[in-house]
Structure 1
Amino acid sequence: MAAGLAVMPEIAINAVRADDLTWAAPAEAEPHARTWMAWPSTPAIYGGSGAYYESVQETLGRLAAAIAENEPVAMVAPADQHALAAELCGAKVELVELATDDMWMRDTGPVFVRSAKGSIAAVDFGFNGWGNKQAHARDAEVAAGVAGHLGVPSHVASIRGEGGGVEYDGDGTLLLTESCWVNDNRNPGLSRAEIEEHLKSILGVETVIWVPGVRAKDITDGHIDGSLRFVKPGLVVASAWPGDTSEWGRAHAESLAILAKARDARGRGFEVISIPAATEVRSTRDDVLTSYANYYVGNGALYTPQFGDGKADALAKETLGRLHPDRRIVQLDMDRIYENGGGIHCVTQQQPL
């Protein structure tokens, strides 16, 4: 596999250069043509058909309907799920026929890049179930399916990974964790330097800042979008877990120390605003993600969770409103998503204008 990966970069890079275009991933806060989402179609992932699986679908539908109040939303789903998805998402959400396993569009779908001439292409990172941790035969085809539906070029990446594993500021800087990228379950035999060069080529970034992350403690191996997010170039939101001395807490502290010394692609230092994670939460699940950093910036609105922790929910809403004064802050009960290893950002993917 490593030998095959070593050949693929030339194909991807040459395809871009042949078009005489420079491609780059725009910031999430730039205007969207639409938001892409994916329908959870495999009951076994959620313990089988029943009330809990149904509540996951209801929660995702509620989020899709909320986003569709402000911008177009396209939900990919197999044909036999369209009637239910239409009922739960509402009439404003477009349904696109495409087979899916699960709902994590940030990871299974493409990362969109834009050329200097304004055209759009879709980057396919070859989703492999976060290192073969989950069945993904259908989800592995979602990125290509979305590109085909839109009729845009598909740039097949020379490395494996997920959209939730990259955080970019739209101005040349990329932030990511070693734990999910420099990992034999995705990129066997490749060094950090090799992976970095591939990411620079396909996402159009100039500076890559690596933070440690945590391996094998969650299904993603420590995606960056659960803890650190760009508000704009030079400004980062961090999810804080005060007093956390676990492996997660130590890795997060090291990440903040790295950012304190780092410079972005334009030579700027970083200001980091920390938002404490919720602690007095409504959910009774042991593995619920209580990070407010896993939000989604849409057209005119920002979508963020509320966990039933009144004090923490209010502080998160106030802080995000201050940092994004041009967005309405929409707080939603998304417990069924955050109980399953991800959040609002993980189930959405922006298509830039």
Structure 2
Amino acid sequence: MSWRMPAETEPQEQLWMAWPSGGYTLGETDAEAHEARAAWAAVAHAALRFEPVTVVVRREDRAIAAAYLDARIGVVEAPLDDAWMRDIGPSFVTDDDGRLGAVDWVFNGWGQQSWASWEHDSAIGRSVAQAARAEIVTSSLVNEGGGFQTDGQGTVLLTESVQLDPFRNPGLTKADVEAEFQRTIGARHAVWLPRGLTRDAKEFGTRGHVDLVAAMPAPGALLVHVQTNPEHPDHEVSQELLEVLHASRTADGKPWQITEVPAPEQLHDGEDWVDWSYINHVAVNGGVIACSFGDPQDEKALRLLADAYRGRQVSAVDARVIFARGGGIHCITQQQPRVGIR
């Protein structure tokens, strides 16, 4: 059997999310908890305009989730540690016979981070796969959905600091990782980035998720996060990543059409350099749910996304509350492809 992970822009059956349940995602006060719940709900409602949405909710949180979520949003009960569905959930794949599969990666708290817990989240991939009635594709690779991007045509973007992280996959080589991606999602060509954004590499980050720095809006096309202000350490990072991507090719040996998407003008949030990124959006049927930041660059970035995703309506959701908790809109969502359509 040959599995393929469709591009995010291919037809979708539904979008999956997880409900904020506790820990740093909810915060320490009732006001912070409301802020988080309202932000996750805003993304769910934005996506619901385009396709069905299902949210995984802890049994004890079902009533409070119902107070925030439209009744049309599906609910699946399961224990949760956190709410980053892109990372804890499965990566859905299909085959030529029209079957739906779900890659169940090993999740270990973004490389055994000291602040993370993953007793329940490590089982969410299997729980969501079963709820979606997908065939489970078991993988021994420690990996998260935000740690790679695929065009559905054989190319996958990876990061050396994630898949080769000694706290994730000690002893594995690039060849080992690439073979597993070929087996599980049908990727026959890998483009390796050396690292991710500065803040994402620090204590409360993922050590370099791809979905903050590059997205694939169409075959052969890349949207790339670029920090234009030399005061921000990501200025150097983004220039390095651009060099790597310009030198790389697709699985078909063609150069990328690269569109640079400038970072927000705001550099710092009072705690650290921000890793705010317009790249961390999610494509849905006929639309794109995009991050906004109340920043002067919002309008330009949303226009670039609209140009890249021709024919799709770009809907912006203020993502500052989500980023304050460690990620963006792409990080809290996971698309389930429609089977039998390519």
TM-score interval, normalised by the smaller of the two chains: over 0.9
Give 1:139's aligned residue: 121
Q: 1:283 to 1:308 in 2, by over 3 A?
A: farther
Aligned length: 332
For structure 1, the residue ranges without an aligned partner over 5 or more in a row are 1-20
The secondary structure found in structure 2 opposite 1:208 is strand
In the alignment, the residues of structure 1 paired with residue 4 and residue 170 of structure 2 have an alpha-carbon distance, to the nearest angstrom, of: 26
Cα distance in 2 for residues equivalent to 1:248 and 1:307: 18
- Show the counterpart of 1:316: 301
Partner of 2:67: 87
The 8 Å contact of residues 267 and 274 in structure 2, kept in 1 or not, is answered as: no
* SS at 1:259 equivalent: helix
Tell me the alpha carbon deviations over residues 267-317 of structure 1, each in whole angstroms, 9 at most, x when there is no partner.
Answer: 2111110111112489655454321000110111111111111x3011011
Alignment of 1:1-353 (within 5 A): 21-133=1-113, 134-214=116-196, 216-217=201-202, 218-244=204-230, 248-280=234-266, 286=272, 288-309=274-295, 311-353=296-338
CA RMSD of aligned residues (A): 1.8
Deviation at 1:43, TM superposition (A): 3.7
What is the identity, as a one-letter code, of the residue corresponding to 1:146?
Answer: V
- Distance, in Å, in 2 between the alignment partners of 1:27 and 1:225 is 14
What is the aligned partner in structure 2 of residue 6 from structure 1? none
Q: Secondary structure at the match of 1:80?
A: helix
**CA–CA distance in structure 1, aligned partners of residues 59 and 283 of structure 2:** 29
User: In the alignment, is the contact (CA less than 8 A) between 1:285 and 1:339 conserved in 2?
Assistant: no
Q: Provide closer, same or farther for how the CA distance between residues 177 and 245 of structure 1 changes in structure 2, counting only shifts above 3 A.
A: farther
Counterpart AA for 1:326 = G
Q: What is the DSSP-based 3-state SS (H/G/I as helix, E as strand, rest coil) of the residue aligned with 1:316?
A: helix
TM-score (norm 2): 0.92
Structure 2 CA distance, aligned partners of 1:297 and 1:53?
27
Give, as a single letter, the amino acid of the residue that structure 1 aligns with 2:40.
L
SS at 2:187 equivalent: coil
CA contact (8 A) 1:282 1:307 kept: no
- 8 A Cα contact 1:288 1:341, kept in partner: no
Q: What's the secondary structure of 1:61's corresponding residue? A: helix
- Structure 1 CA distance for aligned equivalents of residues 234 and 241 of structure 2: 10
**Which structure 2 segments of 5+ residues have no match?**
none
Deviation at 1:46, TM superposition (A): 4.1
Q: Is the 8 A contact 2:92 2:336 kept in 1?
A: yes
Contact 1:86 1:95 in 2 (8 A): no
CA distance in 1, matches of 2:24, 2:291: 26
CA separation in 2, counterparts of 1:180 and 1:68? Answer: 32
Identity %: 35
**Partners of 1:292 and 1:305 within 8 A in 2:** yes
2:232 and 2:273 in contact (8 A); partners too = no
| Alpha-carbon separation, structure 2, partners of 1:245 and 1:284 | 15
Deviations 1:292-350 (A, max 9, x none): 000110111111111111x3011011111111121111011122101122100000000
The structure-2 alpha-carbon separation of the partners of 1:51 and 1:288, relative to structure 1 and needing over 3 Å to count, comes to farther
TM-score (norm 1): 0.89
Evaluate the alpha carbon distance shift between residue 100 and residue 173 of structure 1 in structure 2; reply closer, same or farther with a 3 A threshold: same
User: Whole-Å Cα distance in 2 between the matches of residues 288 and 93 of structure 1?
Assistant: 32
